[in-house]
Structures are given as C-alpha cells and as structure tokens.
Structure 1
C-alpha cells in the first residue's frame, strides 16, 4: 500500500542537527477510540515552562493506522480487503511517517495513553535505540483477562449482525456499532464514580449518548473489528525487558481497564530502571485528564531531556 493518508497535529519548535534531522521530537500515541486530538489529555502539562515545554520540545500527535482519518479500512475504501495489521504495524506506520514528513530518525521521547501505550511500549521494545525516554499512561504489556473478553464481545456484536457479511456490508451497521460502543461504558470511569457521582437516570443518559457517539463520529464496523483484533493479539511480555529508554509508567488506582496490581506494577519490574507513579482519580481510566496531579513528578522525570 502506497500514499497512505496520515492525520496529525504538531506543536513547538523543531531543532535540527548539522545533518538536518529533527532532534527534539516527542510523539504522542492516542488510545483505542481516540485520534490526534487526544493530545488534549495532557494539555495541562504542555506549553512554555511546563513539563512538556513547547519551547524545548517538538510534539507530534498522529492518528494511528486503523483509526478514522488516517489509513484504515473505511478511509481507504477497501473494507474487508484492507490488510490485517498489528500494534507493531501501527508503530512502523508512524515511524515511516516521521521519516518522510519530518526527516526524523530518532525521537526524544514517546508518550502513549492506553492503546497508545501498547504502541509506545512496542516501539521501545522492538526499536530500543529509537528514543531517549518513554512514558506509558494507563496501559500494559499485554491484553488479557477482561480486556481481551471485552474486545471479543464488541467484535461478536458486530460480526453477528445479519448485514455484516464477513465485512462486506453495503450500509453502516448502525445498531451494532451503537451497542459495541455502549458495551465499553461501564469501564471508563471508576466504580465509585458510577455509584456515588451518577444517578441511574444520568447513567441512562450517558449510555444513550455513548451509543449515539458511534453514529456522530462515523464509526465503521471493519475499522472496529480490525483494531480490536490488533489489540487482542498484543502481548510483548517476552520482549518488554528489551526497553532501554528511560521509562516512566503511570497508573491510576481506580482504573478498571488496567488495575496497577495487574499491569503497571508487574510491568515496572520487567523494565530495567523504570519509574512507577500511581495516583488516585475517581475518573478511573480516563483520569489522565487529571494528569496535572503528578506535574512535579513529570517535571522531575523530563528535566534531563530538555
């Protein structure tokens, strides 16, 4: 496949060496349902004088392979003929883009949130000399347990639609896509948030809104199935120890997707000299919106790279 579309946004000022290569780039990798705009999750720690200092770093957020507006089954209009891909392919997609668009062959750092953490960690494990630092936000070294079951459940909803036709459908599978997105709702926030911050009526409304989001954002069934298959196949337990970049692993105690005791803590023991930060957020998995809570720790981690 040639001439693949790539959606991205960039902030800051690039610094180049004598050979013209950009030397101060940081790539942000978004989560499962996100895109380049997911960079807003860390916007509170970006800007002049902030931990991610836009005067010293050049930050690039890329909508990854398989996500809407970059190369995906729907965007390329290939449907079920689109090649199957892995998390490793997502990484290579971004590496090729960085080389062609920005003349980048080495990154200052990679930051990945949730599924984006799969990419960042794979990047560090398979190409250990490619970056100086790596930050994993609410992520893991493999998809297993209830995360695996949830991805499979979403695909079962879509693939059991009478109109799915092995991915060769002729019109949007609206109802199935609504149900698939709605199935994710109970896990995004903490159990405490659902119990104490929301009434049942508010939960009804939120679930309805999440279902409609699949329509409003023009979800495509093959896009979802392909991305879920890439995620369920993700497992770098055998190579995660290859990571050489200075690594920061950030977890949230109330995260239902990646509880620290199952993911971040064991992963921190696999990655040599990594630093682990765990904080509280009633927002659960999406508590990276409150990343300002660990601003001092992030500043301390990043100070050597500025």
Structure 2
C-alpha cells in the first residue's frame, strides 16, 4: 500500500465541538463542529511535535493525501503526528451548510480560519505550539497568516503553491464566481442556484492545470472534464462558496511577512496559472526572512503540488535543520 492508502483507509475523520468560537467581528457561534484527521489515535495525549496540514479552497481534512509521500512510510514527516483539519467555512466543520445557518453564518476572514484551528488544537489536544504548519493554496493563506500573527507558535512553515495576497486573476475569479451565484434568480428565490454553481466550478477547472495539459486533451475529453467539474460544483452550498471567496479576496499580508520567525520552505510550480512564480512565490521568498524556495515543472500546473513527494529528502533535511 502507498502512504496515501494507509492514511486514507486506516484513519477516518473524527469530530469535535468548540464550546464557543468568537469571530474577529465579535460575532459568536456555540458548539462549532470541527472535522479532522490525525495519524495517531484521536485519544492520544502525546501530540508533541505535531505538524498541521491545511487544505486548499475546495478541500477538507482528507486533502492531506496531497502530501502522502511525505507522511507515509519513509516520508520526511513519518515520525511526526499529522493533524489535518477541515477549515472554518468548509463542509464538515463549522460553515453555512454544516450549521444550517446559511446566509446568517457570520462572514469570516483568513485570521478567523487560523484562530478556529488554534482554538481547536488547544481545546482538543492542549496544543499551543506546533512543530510546523503546511498549507496548500488557500491553506497557504492560513499558514502564512498564522506565522505572521503568532510567530512563536511554530518551528517551521511550508507554504505550497500560494501567495501572501490575492490580486489579479485570482481576485477576478473569486469575484466573478460570486457574481454568478449571487445574481442568479434561483438564489434570490431562496433555491439552490445549481446552474451558477456548476458554471463557477467549470471556471475554476479552466485555470487549475497548465496550458500544456489542456492542449493535450482532445475536445471531447475537455468537454467531458468540464461537465464533470460542473456536476460536482452544482452540489456545493452557495453560501459556503460565497463566504469562502469573500475571505480569500480580503487576503493581504503586505508589509507583514517580515514578522515571520519560523524557518520557511516555499514550493512553487512554474506552470501554476493561479500563482505564477514570478508574481507570487519568488517575491514572497524575498520578503520572508531567510526563506528557501523550490520551483519545479509540472504539466499539472497548480495541482502539481501533488508531486511534492519527489522532494522528500530535501524536506527531511529542512525539517532536521541540516
């Protein structure tokens, strides 16, 4: 079995409730559900040196499979407890859909998402400082925010295919998705806007992979893939999407990255169309004190993050401080 198979087949999601969570706006929710996975039994009290994995925009706690080559047998993270949490606003944890609050669910920020994870770790495991935080894409927004706001709470930081701010095409995509959904007559009539959600998902699909990848598909394959993504997207909750996009659109750590004290290893993909290295990870590495940067090629573009296992030895050396 691969490391991914071991993690996904043998470790099932666990659930916890935060007694009361207060948003940065002052609003509060009680008994906030948290969905999470760990590579140790959830009852374990031995959570020293925990490494936190934070998923991207459309993921959940199972998205830790993206780094399975690092967490599985022989991986750089094999000996560390891994905790992967479904983020605030994502189904499984407290969100408009999971709480049935819909549009009455408080709007949240990236900082709220970080504080949600921190409060969970403290209440569930008594953890106040972790070995490291790894974040992919929007999870990287959270990892960076965590390192900026609470610089003494982690030893290392690994932002993967991400940025310290949302600008340009990313802002436009999030904004356009919200326009599609919010202006749909079905939503205004308090019904699920399935068509708008489907189109929004198709739009995301068209940017997730490299131009070379799309060019390698024949038109029938491309159409089929678009329709599959649209079908999956139509099942999303509209307010989960809208609130998550609004949080992402406000993400901007300009002028704050110098606060980071954690040893930092950044990964970027040259063909990433969401976060082109020259616009995002390269300048970010220059702004974070002592940061190391790894760039690699992948026809999978943004999703090339799944190939991070080929840098297992480098990650092991980085974590060991060699």
TM-score exceeds 0.5 = yes
Question: How far, CA to CA, are the matches of 2:134 and 2:144 in structure 1?
Answer: 9
Question: How far, CA to CA, are the matches of 2:153 and 2:306 in structure 1?
Answer: 28
Counterpart selection for 1:96 from 116, 119, 127? 119
Counterpart selection for 1:205 from 202, 209, 224? 224
SS in 2 for 1:108: strand
- Residue pairs, 1:20-99, within 5 angstroms: 22-53=47-78, 56-99=79-122
- Residue pairs, 1:244-283, within 5 angstroms: 244-283=261-300
Question: How far, CA to CA, are the matches of 1:13 and 1:80 in structure 2?
Answer: 36
TM-score under structure 1 length normalisation = 0.92
Q: Which runs of 5+ in 1 are unaligned?
A: none
Which position in structure 2 is the counterpart of 1:222? Answer: 239
The answer to whether the Cα contact below 8 Å between 1:12 and 1:57 also exists between their aligned partners in 2 is no
How far residue 142 of structure 1 moved from its aligned partner, in angstroms, is 0.2
Question: How far, CA to CA, are the matches of 2:75 and 2:129 in structure 1?
Answer: 23
Question: How far, CA to CA, are the matches of 2:70 and 2:210 in structure 1?
Answer: 23
SS in 1 for 2:30: coil
How far residue 253 of structure 1 moved from its aligned partner, in angstroms, is 0.4
SS in 2 for 1:9: strand
Q: Per-residue CA shift, 1:252-285, capped at 9, x if unaligned?
A: 0000000111000000011001110001111000
Counterpart selection for 1:9 from 31, 37, 47? 37
Which position in structure 2 is the counterpart of 1:153? Answer: 176
How far residue 49 of structure 1 moved from its aligned partner, in angstroms, is 3.1
Question: How far, CA to CA, are the matches of 2:311 and 2:40 in structure 1?
Answer: 22
Question: How far, CA to CA, are the matches of 1:247 and 1:13 in structure 2?
Answer: 29
Which position in structure 2 is the counterpart of 1:170? Answer: 190
Which position in structure 2 is the counterpart of 1:186? Answer: 206
SS in 2 for 1:3: strand
Question: How far, CA to CA, are the matches of 1:129 and 1:22 in structure 2?
Answer: 18
Q: Aligned-residue CA RMSD in angstroms?
A: 1.6
When residues 13 and 131 of structure 1 are mapped into structure 2, their CA distance, relative to the original with a 3 A threshold, is farther
Q: Per-residue CA shift, 1:208-233, capped at 9, x if unaligned?
A: 00000123xx3100110000000000
Question: Comparing both chains, which one has the higher relative contact order based on Cα–Cα distances under 8 Å and sequence gaps of 6 or more?
Answer: 1
The answer to whether the Cα contact below 8 Å between 1:13 and 1:57 also exists between their aligned partners in 2 is no
